[in-house]
Structure 1
């Protein structure tokens, strides 16, 4: 009878409120700063200028390593802790891979299961979502209890290369990047996993081991350079839910969040650069995370008398915060090869306690603390418990816990980068702590000499000192509208978001640049449910963050700028903003016929998974003389996101994100000061750039309690894997009434390449195979040949299959379809299967071949050419290199009665500066540098000055 009655139930919705999934994945401040540049491109498309301070560029074995500071000009996120270089500044020196966790970590092996049987992580069953009927509720309800069906996303940023990679349903890594990147991580190899820096659960009575984490990744670029991230616990950031460090908790443990670059190797396995790190004290990070769920089931017996009513209310209003306990590492030194350190990094602790960063946070209000049987010692074991010797206390700020301490947050602290030491000079970073830590000066020091970069900001002291402030707009930027009520807060954008923004940057030369920013705007937005692009009645609507409006460059001697640029983001000839918003803020939605959610942060992401929240289709840059350039970029309207195959619970759908296709230049127009079109370039791209897909789901099976009907929320969606190519560029130049059009056409080879080393796997590659230039009816065309084109020669193929070197091995040049000439490099095997160039040949017009150079000998380690024969076969040239620079170069003419020799000698500093050259004729040149490694003078063998350079440097006054 119960079955019959239940089948007749009819459900209706009552007034409902609120649910927020508490964020469980907050990266450390340094990792978060580095991750920005893997997520959002620095370009006019986002309204962001490229503001950076160069610190050092060092070449070793031909590899350039740049160290600099990068500024994020979007505005200050009011509740994001500063990294070790202060708000919005990021040290770019090595690189990192940061995990965006989806569901549980891909490698997670759950230790304690009370029911449902064994849990299977994503690495074990990446294709589970594709098996059977993916839209079967029964299948999903079973799978959710025993399988992780959603892969993590790994964001990388190193040496100018950015992107993401995801483990595909077919068991191959999929890379989303403009670069050719090969990911080396065999998920089945147990040696690729490591126990965390704290290897046991927080227990007094046992030492049960926690699950192992990913030890690190190895990435290769298309020149064969190898980048090793992680490898041991000294170079991995870990994190755990702050409220999971409870005694005897065996469900949560520290998870590897970020892996830092530890080594760069060449394709032959030689170390080019090493990066060393040290672990700092714990960092406590918290977020506003109010959530509640009110579920009402109102059921009537169809045709019968009586009703049934079930209600459930869940809320975290008593303690509306989420948090992470992170254990970060910090860069300590950079070492070229096996030599002395190039750079060492000195840091200290910021003069602000964690309690001062969160002045209104009271951990005692957490519900678990209200349970009589619990105490702080049992709840926050990693910060309080002193057992196991120094296992926990060694990672705290201040050491062992003492009962007299009023707050456990005393044992957490942020660090600050104070100084960078190079062999010939050092750099000191000065900060201001007026409300918030921000970089004030970068001082370059050599002995008693110094020069500085100095910064001026807009009202940094107006920002709140509370990092759990309610005074933020929808996107997290400051709006000054504080509220203590989660049901009545104002998140609109206003002028307060410019507080803390950089306004002036002074240079060591005495010159300076001023920046004027304004609010981002949009003229169209993407509907959260239909994915349609909608133009509101208002032509411009403010959205979060800032964009550049004006840049003025001054030489420091004149009051007028030497250059002034003004930026406009409207559709040309219109007052409508060209900004396209990826989503509108949404704070509640109906999850089923009986349940809806709302919260104090948007329930839909306000930025794309892989891009900014707003991008501009048109940007016009006007110079002081009124000449201008107008740039047209691809945007949501050109490559809309894709709706999921199915969505449950009327939730806003998880769309297939295409934001990595945005910001491509479509056309560029140059105008004279009188408004006449001078030149226009039009760009064409791949029409269908998607080469692969990953199917996944973020479905959640919800059952608030035993009285309420369970329901699903979420979607089945895809990650699209693109390879996006420029196919043509058409440039038209206008001269009076005449015009001339030149065209560049490009061809590419796109393929999934089988690779055998270090283990069998496949990697998508995308390389240019041809480039044709058409001018005045004539066409010049270059065709490129690659190692993978010639599998008949194992030595040549090794460049790709073993080293992942995708550099061209040959070219052929055509003029109006007629072969003119070409070149090709032939490879050979030496020293136990090492592939090196054997000779370089020239292909003539009649297809005959000449040998240009024959390579006779190589250095033993880096396999640099030490002897070769040019086209004149009677001459052998020899050379010795050190640190990537030639130390000795000479030649010897053989087969003659009087052999002739000629030698040149080169002398270098440790930092790669050329100091002396001895030529075969006896001439001797000497080069002199100042304290900052800048060339100031050159003299000949007689001491005569052949060149002298003076630099204009004066003290800046803010």
Structure 2
């Protein structure tokens, strides 16, 4: 029998017989919209999958006070495809004692591809409340009146339960390639993306009617606990086997599609409870398995599945209803309950490209702290805990104790031929008394090792054992949450929560404690160079709290209050021991610039641990009745209590703490104030569409449900004010975003069926809430930058509009003449009648800009149109570029004559100009020859393409011999430049049109070491050294008579080296003339300097000659004036200058190139070109503030880079190939520049 006393103090009478009610609360947690007043154990992704997702979901901004701590490991790349392997530290917001470490140590996540993780939100036909109608499989949101009172009332009267067999109500979180977000199935059964990022993603799925998975076999130790036959096969019906996400460039990312790449999760059971038809086995994660270019090449990611492991959580949670006849059969106190989750994990085994393979090595992470309880089904110790798995056929009599996930031991990078290029090894703690922590990260090559990354933690405050109850309300360590949790008597907890005094003491024990929140947090990273970064944290606090139903803000009357977790306080960078190079401090105050002291923090919810009701209840809208309660009237007493917050962090509120204003203080006293959208400044949630509920007089249960969340907009930067050290505002940027009232119509509809806390089989009290999930694009609408100087100010405003697919349509601003400049873009979907553009749009290749027009005061001044075609099936590339200036006729400026079947450009030319041909090798990855003055057919006929395709397995000498056939055959007819490569590293040699060779030498760690003349044993012309801490690398000796640091367009002289040391070469404009000056420090047998000019970097014109001193050991200065530079026209005003330094015996070398702009068609020059040395593209321009933006397009017309004005652009992530750099100026004009990345 079950005895429920009438007093608030529960005495000795307790349950004498144990009964289990299967239908609803046993396994419904992972399938049904949960009762938010009940302790929950929702099936989640594994620590491995969760750690991957954290990279995209953990906010990295001042808005949450979370620093971006990232450690690069390796970038896997092939052409324009890449996978970045790195570590991300995500515990900078505090350590949670009951969260088990991931595969690279506590607090770190491994970014090594991507994952889609499922959050189940609905009910299936095998999982629904007992005593209610059978679920119906239909879409309740399809009708226009889906949320009307009539429809909602009908749902509650019939107790309609919507099944989720097709995943209609699920939420899928994705993360790959720096892109993250969620997608849903909408009311029209189509996928909808929810992300603040400007990337339109096409989602497709492959569903299998039935699918069986083989998991690793488990050793069986017969226990007699179950007669269930053992099987290592998991069977799933109507199963999503594969997702394909296509980005706006047409690149397809496949998740799943192979058996070992799909992870399964299972809940623990109470003793004696059996699995039915695998219904509790849920696929929670699909890992990235391939990246496929629309041009046909791809990167594959292969996985392995290892044996299962288990994680646990603990709580005290009960729900007591009187009279007992209205309650379920578990209507009694149960005390502490452990809930376990079993994972069938997946681990990345290798990443394969046509040029490389990256191998991951794993081992069981058993040398770490584990759980201090064991599970023995033959003599169960806790019938209330959900810790048993023996009824699962795939577990049965397998050992459950000592189950740990794997840790990553090393990453090996090799060529496809099997040559090992580098190894990255992970070093961890090795103790069963502490959590697994990453200590070192060491890069090795051959027998040598670089100094390691070293990671330091706050070990002065150790974390407690798992399941110790020593946490605050948000799961962070506080070392006192267990003060009232030591009893094993369930009656004790009932009395604890029902005594107002004792309950308050317990609630106080769940507050944060600043002395413990920082336990074992990362505090220092030491780099291989010997420099290091130190991190200082402080506890989160808040000055106000968000309230719901209705949305409002409650100010703290008692001042600043602490809440769970950490925020960054200070980041200090040291270039060597005790020498601070930079430092940033952070202040989370309102009105910092004027001395404000109130916290800018906003708490998104206040935890709830106890609920009580006693009063008259009436029958629910649908009540069948029983013989003892045919009419159901009377008084009910209801109590609910839980150590976990009963209103735990809900799905769409985001972080539990956020900051509306944050100040970043620099070491020199200057600072920047950032202000963000938040609950307290106009971006609280919108009201839900509707709700209906039984027993609203008992409690406003729906107030714990979601409203229409504005999570998409919260955290967007509103303004950024820069102040100097004297507290003077010098620049203020104000940002406005998509505020179209119609944006809320872009949504996914949801009706949530939720049992009320007083629900039981005998008393089915329910509610339904109709809400919207907003999926619009919260794009930047306007940006206004105001600069303050000498009492005045200058403001510049830029406005943007976007198409429905998140691509920028227009950009407008005022130029210096107060004229409105409008830049408009068109994309493939804007040309539905053109078969090529239509085909591109149908393949989701939507990002290429087909046409850009620039208008000034409503008058079009420029048009650039790119025509695409398909030289091979499915390969879409530019055919030509047409330009129209003003009212002039449109004219073709560039033709792209021929491509290969990977979309590599083979031949191009300007109308009426010579042809420029490219040969590709190394499986189509790199340009191996550039020929100016001949067509592709002629050039290709001179060589064997298979030799070039397989160049990675041949010697450089053999490849140069093959390429020299072109040079020999076309001698005197064309200019031939050829290239060879060191696999996975970079150029190994460049041979210029004169046949001079520059050899690139790398050290064992693939770092550029030196440049040689003629052959690998030739004199060193440039040397690089890397002086890491404890590992000084000497520079290679230079030629004894000096060296010339040649540009990538330079010819290096024959031996002996040129006896001239050029230390300086400058070019400046003076009115319409170019003033050139240079300086030497040593001249031996020098004859003269010839000055040359070019408008395209190919053909050079000799302008004049300056005699040298001949013999000199001191500093000599020279100058030359070009009185007639090329202005505008074909060069767009760009003049390139170089000096040819000639010895008396005819030996010569070239200086670096300098550039000047004359006229108005172009104002900038780009160098170096080709890009071979260093990682920057440099813009030479007089005034960078005249530039609006910079865009870089590859040879297919795909945008690969876009940025605000900057003089240096990192090119290390740009693959080899031909690129067009488009620079848009403040006056609306545009200049384009061709560059080659080698």
Q: TM-score w.r.t. structure 2 length?
A: 0.67
Partner of 2:371: 358
Most deviating of 168-177 and 920-929: 920-929
Q: Secondary structure at the match of 1:612?
A: coil
CA distance in 1, matches of 2:382, 2:667: 63
1:179 pairs with 2:198: yes
Query: CA offset at residue 209 of structure 1?
Result: 5.1
Q: 1:546 to 1:437 in 2, by over 3 A?
A: same
Partner of 1:676: 728
Match of 1:384 among 393, 396, 415: 396
Partner of 2:858: 817
Query: CA offset at residue 359 of structure 1?
Result: 0.7
Partner of 1:473: 472
Q: 1:362 to 1:20 in 2, by over 3 A?
A: farther
Q: Secondary structure at the match of 2:160?
A: helix
For residues 462-541 of structure 1, the aligned pairs below 5 Å read 462-466=462-466, 468-481=467-480, 482-483=482-483, 484=485, 487=496, 489=506, 490-495=509-514, 496-541=516-561
Partner of 2:683: 639
Query: CA offset at residue 706 of structure 1?
Result: 7.7
Q: Secondary structure at the match of 1:698?
A: strand
CA distance in 1, matches of 2:128, 2:644: 33
1:274 pairs with 2:300: yes
CA distance in 2, matches of 1:647, 1:619: 41
Partner of 2:984: 911
CA distance in 1, matches of 2:189, 2:96: 38
Higher RCO (Cα < 8 Å, 6 or more apart): 1
Q: Secondary structure at the match of 2:912?
A: coil
Partner of 1:130: 146
Most deviating of 279-288 and 600-609: 600-609
1:569 pairs with 2:612: no
Q: 1:331 to 1:116 in 2, by over 3 A?
A: same
CA distance in 1, matches of 2:651, 2:765: 27
Q: 1:420 to 1:190 in 2, by over 3 A?
A: closer
Partner of 1:579: 601
Q: 1:111 to 1:748 in 2, by over 3 A?
A: closer
Most deviating of 323-332 and 653-662: 653-662
Query: CA offset at residue 907 of structure 1?
Result: 1.2
CA distance in 1, matches of 2:137, 2:511: 41
Structure 1 gap ranges (5+): 1-12, 299-307, 386-400, 402-406, 751-764
Q: Secondary structure at the match of 1:464?
A: coil
Partner of 1:56: 74
Query: CA offset at residue 766 of structure 1?
Result: 1.3
CA-to-partner distance for each residue in 1:766-807, whole Å, 9 max, x for gaps?
111111232432443321111111112111222212233322
Most deviating of 904-913 and 724-733: 904-913
1:866 pairs with 2:941: no
Partner of 1:797: 838
Match of 1:226 among 247, 252, 258: 252
CA distance in 1, matches of 2:725, 2:601: 26
CA distance in 1, matches of 2:477, 2:768: 31
Q: 1:135 to 1:198 in 2, by over 3 A?
A: farther
Query: CA offset at residue 249 of structure 1?
Result: 2.5
Match of 2:285 among 258, 264, 275: 258
CA distance in 2, matches of 1:209, 1:676: 67
1:327 pairs with 2:353: no
Match of 1:291 among 317, 321, 327: 317
Partner of 1:921: 994
Contact 1:194 1:214 survives alignment (8 Å): no
Q: Secondary structure at the match of 2:708?
A: coil
Contact 1:275 1:333 survives alignment (8 Å): yes
CA-to-partner distance for each residue in 1:407-466, whole Å, 9 max, x for gaps?
6324x3211111111231111111114511111111111222322110111127610132
1:345 pairs with 2:360: yes
CA distance in 2, matches of 1:375, 1:502: 32
CA distance in 1, matches of 2:253, 2:311: 30
Partner of 1:421: 412
CA-to-partner distance for each residue in 1:49-95, whole Å, 9 max, x for gaps?
11111112243112343211111111111111111101111111100
Partner of 2:61: 43
Contact 1:569 1:619 survives alignment (8 Å): yes
1:452 pairs with 2:452: yes
CA distance in 2, matches of 1:633, 1:365: 57
1:29 pairs with 2:47: yes
Match of 1:238 among 254, 259, 264: 264
Contact 1:936 1:950 survives alignment (8 Å): yes
CA distance in 2, matches of 1:243, 1:612: 31
Contact 1:193 1:213 survives alignment (8 Å): yes
Q: 1:609 to 1:43 in 2, by over 3 A?
A: same
Partner of 1:83: 102
Partner of 1:699: 753
Partner of 1:757: none
Contact 2:235 2:278 survives alignment (8 Å): no
Most deviating of 871-880 and 672-681: 871-880
Contact 1:903 1:920 survives alignment (8 Å): yes
Query: CA offset at residue 606 of structure 1?
Result: 3.0
Contact 1:38 1:155 survives alignment (8 Å): no
Most deviating of 874-883 and 652-661: 874-883
1:170 pairs with 2:151: no
Residue correspondences, number: 884
Q: 1:363 to 1:77 in 2, by over 3 A?
A: farther
Query: CA offset at residue 911 of structure 1?
Result: 0.9
Partner of 1:655: 707
1:953 pairs with 2:970: no
Query: CA offset at residue 877 of structure 1?
Result: 2.7
Query: CA offset at residue 544 of structure 1?
Result: 1.0
Match of 2:808 among 755, 764, 768: 768
Partner of 1:9: none
Contact 1:591 1:713 survives alignment (8 Å): no
Partner of 1:390: none
CA distance in 2, matches of 1:66, 1:202: 48
CA distance in 2, matches of 1:112, 1:15: 33
Partner of 2:610: 588
Q: 1:89 to 1:773 in 2, by over 3 A?
A: same
CA-to-partner distance for each residue in 1:810-856, whole Å, 9 max, x for gaps?
21123343322221111223334643322221222224122122222
Q: 1:254 to 1:239 in 2, by over 3 A?
A: same
Query: Which is greater in Rg?
Result: 2
Q: 1:807 to 1:611 in 2, by over 3 A?
A: farther
Contact 2:302 2:350 survives alignment (8 Å): yes
Q: TM-score w.r.t. structure 1 length?
A: 0.85
Contact 2:827 2:846 survives alignment (8 Å): no
Query: CA offset at residue 110 of structure 1?
Result: 4.1
Query: CA offset at residue 246 of structure 1?
Result: 5.3
Match of 2:428 among 415, 428, 431: 431
Match of 1:204 among 224, 229, 238: 229
Partner of 1:598: 641
Contact 2:308 2:343 survives alignment (8 Å): yes
Structure 2 gap ranges (5+): 1-5, 11-35, 218-225, 415-420, 487-492, 497-502, 618-635, 939-969, 1032-1238
1:936 pairs with 2:936: no
